[in-house]
Structure 1
Amino acid sequence: MKQKLKRRAVLAGAGAALATPALLSRVNAAEVTLRLHSMLPAPAPMNSQFFVPWADEIREASNGAIDVQLFPSMQLGGKPPQLPDQVRQGICDISWTLPVYTPDRFPIAETLALPFMVTNAEKTSVVMHTLMEEFGQDDYAGIKTLAFHTHDGGKLHTRNGLIHTADDLRGLKLRAPNQATGKMLELLGAETVFFPVTEMVVGLSSGVIDGCCLPYEIVPAFKLQELTGFTSAPAPASRGLYANTFAMLMNQAAYEGMSDDLRGVIDAHSGAGLSQRIGRQFDEFETRGKAAVEAQGNTIGEIASEEIAAWREIAEPVHAEWVEKLNGFGHDGAAVLARANELLDAG
């Protein structure tokens, strides 16, 4: 009886070995190390709550064969606008970038960074991924794209009072999140400057700017709730003021140099599903960021839907200018913008 049981156990073990994917037969030692370069500090939600778990999932799915190492705060050198070139050149293997930091270089990827082109982060991220598949294949030629996404709609965080109407913006010096939103804010009467979010603390603490336009999610990472006392957000039924767009990129040679099964792991952890997942997480980050602003005791106000509708009309020249710019890049600008709005309004 014992011999029969032993024989069955051996056969069962052999069958399990035959059924186990090749990845599971690997020794738990990294065959590939991928350097992921991030502009944000380590505690930022994108690093601590997305990149770290994502790297763990890649490691587990590859049975330890792929080790993704995170380098926050631009530890590999350079400045945030250089990240697309760093990943292309192999200075890093994966990067997370903002197309607006290199204006006009990735035009389709920038389109959803226009004013009032955001609902929430999850839906808008799905829209962006679809738009890139339909129109933006040439934006990142020669680079392996892993995901595209946006954050939730931006809010106005100011030092000295709430914003209810365009009159409240007149004369204020605001850090604009991108060129298109900066033009819109200028049409509304504000004076704008543009610099990466990593320089925000200096701008606010030195008094160079009176406020900024950002989503809640980034506020705690830079303790901006301590530097601003007021937040003004569009009414819930309105589109957000803006959303910056993001691209998660991988060095093409690093991807192609991996074995078929390891490329399969990367493929299974990227694409449309990952874009939606990041967007969903940014909606969660937004809730937590707002909680930090409330805990600070800051005043939060609402910009009425009627006022936002008036702002959207004022911003129409910004959209018209973008259509012409897309036309100049060989796209049908009106078709791209119409498709983006169709996707945003669907459902």
Structure 2
Amino acid sequence: MNPIRSTALAALLAVAGTAVAAQDVTLRFQHFVSPNSANPKYFIEPWAKKVEAESGGRLKIEIFPFMQLGGSATAQYDLIRDGAIDGGWVIPGYTPGRFPEAEALELPFMVTKSAEEASKAAWLFTQKHLADDFADVHLIAAHMHGPGIVHKTGPAIGTLEDFQGLKLRGPSRPATLLLDKLGATPIGMPVPAFPEALARGVVDGGVITWEMSPSLKLDELTDSHTDVAGDRSLYNLYFIWAMNKAVYEGLPADLRAVIDANSGFETSAWAGRAHDTGDAEGRTAMDEAGNEIAEMDADLSGQIEGLGAEVTEDWIAEMSARGLDGAGLVRDAREAVAATVGTEPADG
């Protein structure tokens, strides 16, 4: 080959290689709630902007609320796994029985009312027990929301008898197991379906966080909001923030490093902290709307915690029957929670 032509070709290939290495990548992530909800507002959107900034603008993250890219909230994990979307927010509990080990974190009174602390525990537990469960996606964060509150039409819960016959929305299997123990009729449904079910009288109320209350118009659709006493959650919900594995692995190494720098323990804590911020705002909004806000007394809370312990024992037996170490999972979940109680706020 002509030396001049050879040199020119080498230069052209070098330029092309540089262009590939410096390529811009747009990733489309999806979630199922309002962009004004706490996690999108205080975690998802800021996370996307942080990733974009740290990549020098080469990674662009587009966020689509309300499942705008298609599919249902219950199918979100599969949408990510199959590459229909590049990434998104997943509630594993929306597919009961599929990720049973994750339920250990959702058992009654398992985690504290600090979503940041609970989310640190969630990441520790996930690394120990759930890596194989989520092996076909790339995990960015694992976190919990804040404490679940009983929101209902009519007066606040004051006795165990007040639960009798109530049709209450539950988000996960552990939550519905507890509602059943309390004498209510649990109705499992994802959060987007909750307001319409309330408006049509399909349910009398449900358990969900303070932070979701304003976006679901619970100030208009319910009359009272009741929490248990103490520092533990009546129930909680486990989430993952994840992306398609092939998409992640196909990124240039320096862009993968940006994702890696915005993943893990600190990122999970950030996601939880977003819920703490939203909980404070949501509770204030319900109070300003004139709705009844109540806390059960210690005796009633203790009775409910006792029923929650029965749910946990039943769950351990069920997991053991499935060949899983139910008692070990509960022990490790409690240890993860204990390791993060009272820890300093993470940066983010």
TM-score (norm 1): 0.88
SS at match of 1:247: strand
1:145 Cα deviation (Å)? 0.4
Counterpart contact for 1:107–1:139, Cα < 8 Å: no
How far apart, CA to CA, are the structure 1 residues paired with 2:110 and 2:197?
27
State, as a whole percentage, how many aligned pairs show the same letter: 36
1:329 Cα deviation (Å)? 5.0
How far apart, CA to CA, are the structure 1 residues paired with 2:191 and 2:60?
29
1:207 Cα deviation (Å)? 1.2
How far apart, CA to CA, are the structure 1 residues paired with 2:275 and 2:320?
32
Counterpart contact for 1:87–1:250, Cα < 8 Å: yes
Q: CA distance change for structure 1 residues 79 and 161 in 2, over 3 Å: closer, same or farther?
A: same
How far apart, CA to CA, are the structure 1 residues paired with 2:23 and 2:74?
30
Matched, 1:133 2:136: no
The match for 1:281 among 274, 278, 281 is 274
SS at match of 2:263: coil
Counterpart contact for 2:94–2:171, Cα < 8 Å: no
TM-score (norm 2): 0.88
Task: Name the aligned partner's letter for residue 116 of structure 1.
Answer: F
Task: Name the aligned partner's letter for residue 105 of structure 1.
Answer: R
The match for 2:176 among 182, 201, 207 is 182
Matched, 1:300 2:293: yes
- Alignment of structure 1 residues 159-238 onto 2, 5 Å: 159-235=153-229, 237-238=230-231
1:152 Cα deviation (Å)? 0.9
> C-alpha deviations, 1:135-169, integer Å up to 9, x for none?
11211012110000011111111111110221111
Match of 2:94 in 1: 101
Matched, 1:333 2:326: yes
Task: Name the aligned partner's letter for residue 317 of structure 1.
Answer: E
Bigger drift between 281-290 and 169-178 goes to: 169-178
How far apart, CA to CA, are the structure 2 residues paired with 1:61 and 1:261?
10
Matched, 1:123 2:117: yes
How far apart, CA to CA, are the structure 2 residues paired with 1:72 and 1:45?
13
Match of 2:284 in 1: 291
Q: CA distance change for structure 1 residues 281 and 43 in 2, over 3 Å: closer, same or farther?
A: closer
> C-alpha deviations, 1:58-114, integer Å up to 9, x for none?
111000110000111011111101000000011111110101101121122222112
4+ residue segments displaced more than 6 Å: none
Q: CA distance change for structure 1 residues 234 and 53 in 2, over 3 Å: closer, same or farther?
A: same
How far apart, CA to CA, are the structure 1 residues paired with 2:245 and 2:337?
31
Match of 1:272 in 2: 265
How far apart, CA to CA, are the structure 1 residues paired with 2:269 and 2:44?
15
Give ranges in structure 1 of 5+ residues lacking alignment. 1-24
Match of 2:247 in 1: 254
